[in-house]
Amino acid sequence: MKSAYIHIPFCEHICHYCDFNKFFIQSQPVDEYLRSLEKEMVHSMEANGHPELKTIFIGGGTPTSLSAGQLERLLDSIHTVLKPSESLVEFAVEANPDDLSSEKLNVLKAAGVDRLSFGVQTFEDELLKKIGRVHEQKDVFASFERAREAGFENISLDLMFGLPGQTVHHLDASLDTALSLGAEHYSVYSLIVEPKTVFYNLMKKGRLHLPQQEQEAEMYELVMNKMTGAGIHQYEISNFAKKGFESRHNLTYWSNEEYFGFGAGAHGYINGKRTVNAGPVKHYIDLIDKSGCPYKEIHQVTRNEQIEEEMFLGLRKTAGVSKERFFEKYGTPLDDLFADVLRTLEEKGLVFNTEKSVCLTHDGKLLGNEVFQAFLGEL
């Protein structure tokens, strides 16, 4: 079984840190885009024999920037074309706290959506302004309560640390507030300044004042300790959940399994090929009209690339990379391929190499990128 990611590239505003494929929704051909998205799904499912899906994730951009009617149309397309069945274990949608009305929540619930991911980032109103968010703390509380009233029992809150001007005290307060809501899942990411963002331009001008590396490490330690103390277990470098509420869709990525990527700028991984769709909305629509296929890049993943991806994606999970599963997929013992790398990483105290798996140590989580890079190019 495969998963499906569906991209809605529209936003009511553009956050200063965001480098995802997104556009101001005003004056965009939203209804035409939704028609093209349905055509792409039809074309792709027919070309791949209509496989049963394990998870569906609608992301963005901001899916909830669509009107209730547009959301309903999108969800009708998904049911008509993708035909989610009993095999579907998760149907998730990203949501903004400031545009999630009761009407939209009811549309999502009626369509079988069973997981919401709220883009909160921080509960400090002043910090929200600094990073280009337009919601406030009170909007999160109100949306969260409406979601509960609508019957949603699986809600994730996205938070960030390492933000401009953010202190450990700021983060501590945000974490306490987030945990007080009793969400089932928390994603807590360190800010990465990407090209083509407001923050990147500010950084080039010397006007972006970020926490020092040592302070950022202290923040990450705080996140892990707070979550553990609240009984929320860490199952991936940046993700924490109550038992049974891990993101099944994101585990598809970290387990190096295949998934469809639908929509402008979406990435997919089907039949050993990684694909990238055209990003500009008009270009995407034009390609769909011509052929039903919006790919701008197709890359056949080599066996060595698959193995490297298996390692650096799998090591993001606290459970690490299963040696038994690795052997089943590639026919070669993991230890034989990476003996020198594993020995070096063990000596540095960055990985545990047991009989059954390879996983990150506490220090390995703090220096994850160093661990991941060690496997690149080794084959």
- Domain span holding position 54: 2-254
In a domain, 265, yes or no: no
pLDDT band at 208 (very low <50, low <70, confident <90, very high): confident
pLDDT band at 132 (very low <50, low <70, confident <90, very high): confident
Q: Is the pLDDT of residue 202 over 90?
A: no
Helices (H), the chain: 30-47, 68-81, 102-110, 125-130, 137-149, 168-180, 198-204, 213-229, 248-254, 281-291, 303-314, 323-330, 334-337, 339-347, 362-366, 368-374
224-229 long-range contacts, CB within 8 A, separation 24+ = 224/365, 226/172, 226/175, 226/176, 226/179, 227/186, 227/188
Considering the domain architecture, whether residues 224 and 337 belong to the same structural domain is answered as no
pLDDT tens for each residue of 259-290: 999 999 999 999 999 999 999 999 999 999 99
Strand pairing report for 239-241 and 2-8: unpaired
Q: Is the pLDDT of residue 44 over 80?
A: yes
Q: How far apart are CA 152 and CA 339, in angstroms?
A: 46
In a domain, 177, yes or no: yes
Q: Is the pLDDT of residue 21 over 90?
A: no
In a domain, 267, yes or no: no
Percent pLDDT > 90 in the chain is 87
Considering the domain architecture, whether residues 244 and 340 belong to the same structural domain is answered as no
* Residue that terminates a domain, selected from 219, 254, 289: 254
Considering the domain architecture, whether residues 238 and 314 belong to the same structural domain is answered as no
Mean pLDDT along residues 23-33: 91
Secondary structure class of 291 (helix, strand, coil): helix
Q: Is the pLDDT of residue 199 over 90?
A: no
**Global pTM value:** 0.95
In a domain, 141, yes or no: yes
* Token pair of 110 as six digits: 């009626």
Q: How far apart are CA 85 and CA 265, in angstroms?
A: 27
Residue 182: which CATH number? 3.20.20.70
Q: How far apart are CA 264 and CA 233, in angstroms?
A: 34
Q: Are 318 and 235 in contact (CB under 8 A)?
A: yes
Considering the domain architecture, whether residues 215 and 363 belong to the same structural domain is answered as no
* Residue that terminates a domain, selected from 188, 223, 254: 254
Residue 357: which CATH number? 1.10.10.920
Considering the domain architecture, whether residues 217 and 133 belong to the same structural domain is answered as yes
pLDDT of residue 198: 86
Give me the residues paired with residue 90 across strands. 55
Q: How far apart are CA 138 and CA 280, in angstroms?
A: 34
In a domain, 280, yes or no: no
CA 296 to chain centre: 22
* Residue that terminates a domain, selected from 254, 273, 290: 254
Best CA proximity match to 357, nearest among 299, 291, 293, 311? 311
Q: How far apart are CA 124 and CA 41, in angstroms?
A: 40
Mean pLDDT along residues 28-40: 97
Best CA proximity match to 367, nearest among 351, 343, 347? 351
Structural domain count of the chain: 2
pLDDT of residue 258: 97
pLDDT of residue 24: 74
Contacts of 113 (CB under 8 A, 6+ apart): 75, 91, 92, 93
pLDDT of residue 3: 98
Q: Is the pLDDT of residue 12 over 90?
A: no
Considering the domain architecture, whether residues 229 and 311 belong to the same structural domain is answered as no
Considering the domain architecture, whether residues 152 and 234 belong to the same structural domain is answered as yes
In a domain, 155, yes or no: yes
Considering the domain architecture, whether residues 209 and 348 belong to the same structural domain is answered as no
Considering the domain architecture, whether residues 250 and 341 belong to the same structural domain is answered as no
pLDDT of residue 289: 96
pLDDT band at 52 (very low <50, low <70, confident <90, very high): very high
Considering the domain architecture, whether residues 69 and 152 belong to the same structural domain is answered as yes
Considering the domain architecture, whether residues 175 and 73 belong to the same structural domain is answered as yes
Q: Is the pLDDT of residue 148 over 90?
A: yes
pLDDT of residue 196: 84
Return the higher-pLDDT residue of 263 and 200: 263
In a domain, 25, yes or no: yes
In a domain, 287, yes or no: no
Average pLDDT taken over every residue of the chain = 95
pLDDT band at 163 (very low <50, low <70, confident <90, very high): very high
| Placement of tokens 């997104």 in the chain | 22
The string of DSSP codes covering 310-350 is HHHHHTTBTT-EEHHHHHHHHSS-HHHHSHHHHHHHHHTT-
Considering the domain architecture, whether residues 109 and 206 belong to the same structural domain is answered as yes
Q: Is the pLDDT of residue 22 over 80?
A: no
